Amino acid sequence: MTDVTMTVNGQTVSGSVEGRTLLVQFLRDSLGLTGTHVGCETSQCGACTIHMDGKSVKSCSMLAVQADGAAITTIEGLADGEALHPVQTAFKEHHGLQCGFCTPGMIMAATDIIRRHPEGLNEKTVREELEGNICRCTGYHNIVKAIIAASEAMNADSTKAA
Amino acid sequence: MYDVTYHRAGSVKEALSLLEAADDGKFIAGGQTLIPAMKTRLAAPSDLVDLRHIADMKTIAVAGKTVTIGAGITHAEVAVNSEIMAVCPALCHLAALIGDPQVRHMGTLGGSLANNDPAADYPAAMLALDAIVVTDKREIAAAEFFTGLFETALNEDELITAIRFEAPEKAGYGKFRNPASRYAMAGVFIAKNGETLRAAVTGAGDDGVFRSAEIEAALSADFSAAGLQDVAVAADDLMTDIHASADYRASLIVAMAKRAVAMANG
Ligand SMILES: Cc1cc2nc3c(=O)[nH]c(=O)nc-3n(C[C@H](O)[C@H](O)[C@H](O)COP(=O)(O)OP(=O)(O)OC[C@H]3O[C@@H](n4cnc5c(N)ncnc54)[C@H](O)[C@@H]3O)c2cc1C
Ligand code: FES
Ligand code: FES
């Protein structure tokens, strides 16, 4: 067993893991953060998407020990208390989910896409950028709408702030 | 996955000595190929030596036309690097087509080359750009580096530290992606520098990445998509699998070469 320490959603956490423990197992089983889902566990579906040091990665495709010392954000860390993150709000408003299984990964991927495209998003870009996330229910249409809406809302906010 | 002992290297030297001390150790970079292989027990190393924190392997330098990229640079970093974009935008385009954003945030140039998947993108670029693969021990020309399916000239304990190439006057990449896996079903990288012209094909060869004599001959006569109009690529040494037949791949190669040359001509 190896000791790991990382920052998860702003809090320093430590734990003891096997070398082979996947990051997603550590998050779900050791930390109880079950918002991060496991769909395929073979790097295809993106349900397990989290942010490591600010970038989207698939937490089923890395070991917990690889994340030692890193800053991790999961779906649980997005909202500001009771106030939902703008991407969460947009998914709710635009009906960007049905069963909800893919949603945590979709939202973590979406926030990363918006971060990398401060110039704004169009449908083509969003669809290309969502290549790593699979949804079995929605047909993607409302997910794409929600992400574009969130990007517009967040850009409007940052212009106001500036 | 079998259990494994993890080590984190802070330098090339430390990575080599950690590997040497291990029973049956393996380097791990982005893990985007190795972790899935360990899950299915296709790979079962006793130890992993993590290269992701070696600062020396994470630099990009462009001096004139000479481009040097550290082996630890991720696909996402190549895709948006303004210095590479200024001299060889085709390579940024290629990196942006690898897998998906999450894979590109972790996967590295060094890992991709060491793995030499017959459907991977970078091998085509390296061969067409006549790149040099720099290891801790020597420099290997791309033409000698890729030796077959998942085979390279690397020794077991050899570490890729960087690659280097001279940016050509013109370059382009055309890729037909497998819609499920996103790997290339045919990818063609074309680089032209004066009279020197190389067209390297990935995703299609029976024995991995290769240069297409037919495409090169046609483009030497007429460097345009029109120049490829009547070209036929022989299907003899192409791959047939569940995704596509050799004949279909032969046709894809010409189609992707047309896209690549159109990009090269801007
Ligand atoms: C869903 C998905 C889609 C993908 N799509 C594509 C695609 O479209 N095109 C494509 O080209 N690839 C694709 N890949 C593969 C991806 O590019 C990998 O990142 C890459 O092949 C391996 O890089 P890595 O850094 O993750 O290496 P790892 O998985 O960490 O290592 C791979 C191998 O290389 C060795 N190694 C790593 N670094 C070095 C080094 N510096 N020196 C010597 N040996 C080293 C390791 O020991 C291991 O054997 C995809 C992967 C996934 C999961
Ligand atoms: S569970 Fe990680 S990609 Fe599907
Ligand atoms: S909402 Fe059901 S999988 Fe996406």
Q: Which domain holds residue A68?
A: 2-77
- pLDDT value, residue B179: 86
Nearest ligand, measured from the Cα of A98:
3
Domains of chain B (ranges; CATH) run: 5-50 (3.30.43.10), 55-166 (3.30.465.10), 170-265 (3.30.390.50)
Are residues A61 and B106, on separate chains, in Cβ contact within 8 Å?
yes
Which CATH number fits the domain that encloses residue A93?
1.10.150.120
Which CATH number fits the domain that encloses residue A26?
3.10.20.30
Average pLDDT over residues A92-99: 97
Are residues B36 and A56, on separate chains, in Cβ contact within 8 Å?
no
Judge if A90 and A71 occupy the same domain.
no
The residues in B 172-231 lying below 8 A from A, measured between CB atoms, are: 182
Would you say residue B153 has pLDDT above 90?
Answer: yes
- pLDDT value, residue A158: 79
Confidence at B83, pLDDT banded by 50, 70, 90: very high
Q: What distance in Å separates residue B192's CA from the closest CA in chain A?
A: 29
- pLDDT value, residue A162: 54
Nearest ligand, measured from the Cα of A134:
3
- pLDDT value, residue B106: 98
Would you say residue B143 has pLDDT above 70?
Answer: yes
Q: Does the predicted TM-score (pTM) go above 0.80?
A: yes
- Residue at a domain's end among A54, A77, A100: A77
Judge if A12 and A38 occupy the same domain.
yes
Would you say residue A70 has pLDDT above 60?
Answer: yes
- Condensed to tens digits (0 to 9), the pLDDT of residues A5-43 reads 999 999 999 999 999 999 999 999 999 999 999 999 999
Judge if A72 and A92 occupy the same domain.
no
The rounded distance, in Å, linking the Cα atoms of B168 and B47 is 40
Confidence at B234, pLDDT banded by 50, 70, 90: very high
Average pLDDT over residues B230-249: 95
Angstrom CA distances, B49 to A23, A129, B33, B42, B56, stand at 17, 31, 15, 18, 16
Judge if A105 and A157 occupy the same domain.
yes
Confidence at A156, pLDDT banded by 50, 70, 90: confident
One-letter amino acid of B248: Y
Query: The complex's ipTM?
Result: 0.96
Domains of chain A: total: 2
Are residues B36 and A61, on separate chains, in Cβ contact within 8 Å?
yes
For all residues of chain B together, what is the average pLDDT? 97
